Chains A and B, each alone.
Chain A
């Protein structure tokens, strides 16, 4: 059974932010919510690398484990989705998430958070596939249309890979062998307790 993952090849990532705006465009993500972001490490120094990051759809997802209302589930493809009808915006998933994926619209008083929003791997949500209800809460369901997440599909340098974890690991491995360097499959150790052996 395919288990989908993201892999950002930091040796290709140029912080162009296509993944970010593609996500906004495809899912009509509102201002202030960043389902995906690009972080530049060692900015301006030799060795600088940028990494595009969103929900990594972890194995044994910490968000799901700590959610007090049990609103998460992992699909058969390995996508971690959540049910906004159940979410109470408590913020626990943010504390537990190693990747800063959960986002909260600011609503109400104090720092009170609305329903959590995060990358859905362009797989929509618990609503029926490709319905307006699904779209308005979770965004597009490209997986149901036979497509991959838009961020990876539109990546300017084919740095961000999405798809079956084994296949993208293989692609990455081939690249590293061919070019002779690679800074690692960022986040894999933390998300999947495995890395791409080179």
Chain B
């Protein structure tokens, strides 16, 4: 017999397979066949001439007999934070194994996570630094690249000012990398430093922080298992966060929970819903107010919760009263009965959670949307307890961390803002002279009727956002509220096709004097425009080739170990930033307290510096040692509570989700669920953060009769300062060392030293002793008086198909925000006058595919992923397709109302979208308006799959608070190509 007979004796019991861990109720992940005892049978070898190999032998992973090293890192794609186990042989990553112990993913991955090994195979990676010489890509050395880039930056600085170099960072950086980049921007002297959060959850961060204190997911993926009702509104986690569905679907099963999906598309998530609500894109606020209308009408709200912990709900009631079921149906298309059912379920079958993503945020009214969502949670008392909360699924692997680290035009690291106190705090942490920092910033002359700014004023003014950088390049200089236009751009880890209005992006790229792309891939930035000179590509390695921490969406911080050395000539972010800082002459100051080994700053040391300054957000307890201990003992953490019952981390929550108060030595366990009054602060309890004063219009902003378990203070209280400590007599609890530090920090005004800038950590330590929350115990705000529309009101999208509604629900008036004009109202008016709704009758919305991520350069270069989605497409309803003679799989032109934009894509005829709605994924680039730009990439670095970017046809529209772009609602026409 030619075939080896696999005798099964040794293995029969082995396949007593899959454990109870897979059944819906029991949760024993460890027994998932991990040690099933499958023994390798001693099987007769059979050697025949190999007639039919289909693979090259050297591609194989495990080479027999070579020692295998196993290390743990975190998936570099979405924010769920799945652990990845790599198997290395001879310094090559040869295999990937399920990480069973991780309480987040329990061995699971999505298509991307299961394919990350390819990233380090790197067939299409950028292999060495390159620059454009007369339009040709030319190989150069790192030293030459850094030297030329530095010279050019200085030239721009001398000519136009520091603000003329736009710094774009990345949610793909580790916390340490993001922090360094933010610090680099501060030392360079600009606040125009941004990253992907701008175009993903900036409106969430703003909306949520303005409601109850912090801009982050309040609970966790795991905690969703406790929910009885989940609404997913404006999100498709089945594709964007697949592993989160493990928790969502298990929760749905074990609790027989309601899973309600509210979305314009019948998504892969909606397929598993118990109720699917289809809405017209851009009508989120009417839907929420429509639900609240039923809730208030029937008295289903949580009156006690509102009374104790919410400010201004009465104002909301007035607005909600306008949204009768009839009006809601007229505007949104949702039948009143269905919405009533959803509202009743959400309010009564508690705990309920609201999950949202880009569908809520990427809107001209994104911040208002988010605040409306929060208001619904507050009205039903669904915040601050197990199974409740705003479960905001963030996008990239470290978008939460990069946001925390201040890759944001309006913040220094950890949400200190840009006020003088913030700069002084960080200059103390960095041990650098505040005045030196201030001198790094531009003086801005008076322009176009706007007053001049001093260096200090400019230092405290938010910068230009990534959604508008090209406008800041192209617009007349007097329109851009800084010394000069943007002239140069340094991009670390960011795609070029991620912002709307790509025809303008292309022009902006052509106008730039300097373009630096530091990335594993050349990205669309390198290929979109025909640049001739002044363009540099720096090969940066992935997070699998370096180490550092990253913060998952649920605020858990996970330490990733370097699997292999950076491949080819790539370097990690730390080293690249250090080289640039060295060239620009401030490395010694910037890395004063950070050890640098062979040109590479040590990430552990960077994290320690973050720990020393991150008081405001509780980023102080997560020392590298604690994080590493968590990664090494993942199996000790409970799947649902995320708390370790045993082992070296007993009592800790997994990944020390921030806030993790005080110094690492006091071992605060982290905070699994924010604002949770059911627990002692020492156990991760909390309260809403009184961030906006103690009273407003004569009414208190502090909680009334609500406080966290075990608190010494049994009512609301403001944030803690040394002054308040003295009044309470708690200053006596501070040690002499702590007092000395407080005195040093406070100087003449020692009473003002607070929990957020006390570098000794004493105030936080003593707060924990007394069971009080360092930031205070306040009310959440249902009205945000500091924002446009203090109570969110519906505003039709800039490009709305329902022109008859615009008079009643117009866009916000034109204004200036974030150094740029925002003329949304004018554009909305013009669109109506020009009758665009007739010419472009289909609503175009955009979103994610499971196989790709973000701009997609990395994932479209991954052969295992690229094979699964080989063509850019537009989803179109069968009725719309039939009217236009469009066939499944046929080529179509999608045209947009601005710049005569057009995109050639394939038609996917499906009922996922309703009639009059089309959907395009946003991961594609490399084709522009029908032209294949493959030849623009440096040879061998072009992604396998190219396609039109949806943003070629997306249009104007910016959130007034954060500059978020409108990618979810615009108009288009589709015709067969």
Contacts and interface: CB of A to CB of B under 8 A. Distances in A.
A and B touch in the complex (CB under 8 A): yes
A133 B47 contact: yes
B117 interface: yes
B9 interface: yes
Interface residues of B, number: 96
A137 B117 contact: no
B108 A155 contact: yes
A26 B117 CA distance: 10
B47 A16 contact: no
B113 A162 contact: no
Interface stretch (B20-28, B474-482, B510-518): B20-28
Contacts of A191: none
Contacts of B44: 128
A76 B108 contact: no
Given A17-B111, A83-B3, A11 B59 contact: no
B18 A163 contact: yes
A175 B253 contact: yes
Q: Which of A24, A48, A178 gathers the greatest number of chain B CB atoms within 10 Å?
A: A24
B46 interface: yes
Contact of A148 (B13, B17, B243): B17
Given A14-B272, A25-B864, A158-B22, A137 B252 contact: no
A4 interface: yes
A123 interface: yes
A53 interface: no
A162 to B, nearest CB: 7
A17 B868 contact: yes
Given A14-B238, A83-B3, A128 B54 contact: no
Interface in A141-166: 143-148, 150, 152-158, 161-164
B23 A175 contact: yes
A43 B624 CA distance: 46
B19 to A, nearest CB: 8
A22 B56 contact: no
B9 A76 contact: yes
A44 B18 CA distance: 32
B109 A22 contact: yes
B11 A77 contact: yes
A90 interface: no
Contacts of A153: 32-33, 98, 107
Contact of A85 (B5, B48, B242, B254): B48
A155 B850 CA distance: 14
Interface in B31-61: 32-33, 35-41, 43-57, 59-61
A75 B249 CA distance: 35
Q: Which of B4, B56, B113, B117 gathers the greatest number of chain A CB atoms within 10 Å?
A: B4
B882 interface: no
A51 B8 CA distance: 29
B636 interface: no
A18 B18 contact: no
A76 B7 CA distance: 6
Interface stretch (B263-271, B646-654, B656-664): B263-271
A180 B256 CA distance: 8
Contacts of A87: 52
A129 B113 contact: no
A135 B115 contact: no
Given A2-B15, A136-B60, A128 B46 contact: yes
B62 interface: yes
Interface in B222-254: 238-239, 242-243, 245-246, 249-250, 252-254
Contacts of B35: 146
Interface string B96-113: 101000000011111111
Contact of A43 (B54, B239, B850, B912): B912
B911 A45 contact: yes
Contacts of A48: 266, 268, 271
B648 to A, nearest CB: 27
A158 B108 contact: yes
Contact of A16 (B11, B20, B41, B850): B850
Contacts of A71: 3
B268 A15 contact: yes
A156 B109 contact: yes
A32 B60 CA distance: 18
Interface string A113-139: 011010000010011111111011101
B246 A114 contact: no
B865 interface: yes
Q: Which of B46, B851, B910 gathers the greatest number of chain A CB atoms within 10 Å?
A: B46
Contact of B51 (A84, A162, A175): A84
B96 A33 contact: no
B740 interface: no
B121 to A, nearest CB: 10
A73 B3 contact: yes
B43 A129 contact: yes
B114 interface: yes
Contact of A178 (B36, B113, B253, B269): B253
B115 A144 contact: no
Interface string A1-24: 110100000011011111111101
A29 B317 CA distance: 59
Contact of A156 (B23, B37, B243, B865): B243
Given A44-B266, A156-B108, A136 B118 contact: no
B57 A132 contact: yes
B807 interface: no
A167 interface: yes
Nearest to A148: B33
B108 A75 contact: no
A174 B16 contact: no
B625 interface: no
B600 interface: no
B12 interface: yes
Nearest to B6: A75
Nearest to B80: A156
A179 B253 contact: yes
A28 B61 CA distance: 8
Contact of B38 (A30, A44, A145): A145
A26 to B, nearest CB: 7
Contact of A1 (B8, B111, B242): B8
B64 interface: yes
Interface in A64-89: 71, 73, 75-77, 79, 81, 83-87
B814 interface: no
Nearest to A24: B864
A29 B107 CA distance: 21
A48 B911 CA distance: 11
Nearest to B29: A158
A161 B62 contact: no
B14 interface: yes
B736 interface: no
Q: Which of B6, B238, B912 gathers the greatest number of chain A CB atoms within 10 Å?
A: B6
B63 interface: yes
A59 B348 CA distance: 50
A190 B941 CA distance: 46
A20 B15 contact: no
Given A146-B38, A148-B33, A174-B25, A154 B910 contact: no
A133 to B, nearest CB: 7
B863 A129 contact: no
Contacts of A128: 4, 43-47
B37 A146 contact: yes
Nearest to A176: B24
A82 B36 CA distance: 25
Q: Which of A26, A31, A164, A180 gathers the greatest number of chain B CB atoms within 10 Å?
A: A164
B276 interface: yes
Contacts of B3: 71, 73, 81, 83, 86, 126
13 contacts: A14-B268, A14-B272, A21-B865, A25-B864, A32-B867, A76-B7, A76-B12, A85-B49, A136-B56, A150-B114, A158-B106, A158-B246, A163-B18
Given A26-B95, A77-B11, A158-B250, 9 more contacts: A1-B8, A18-B111, A44-B266, A46-B276, A105-B54, A126-B2, A158-B108, A158-B246, A178-B253
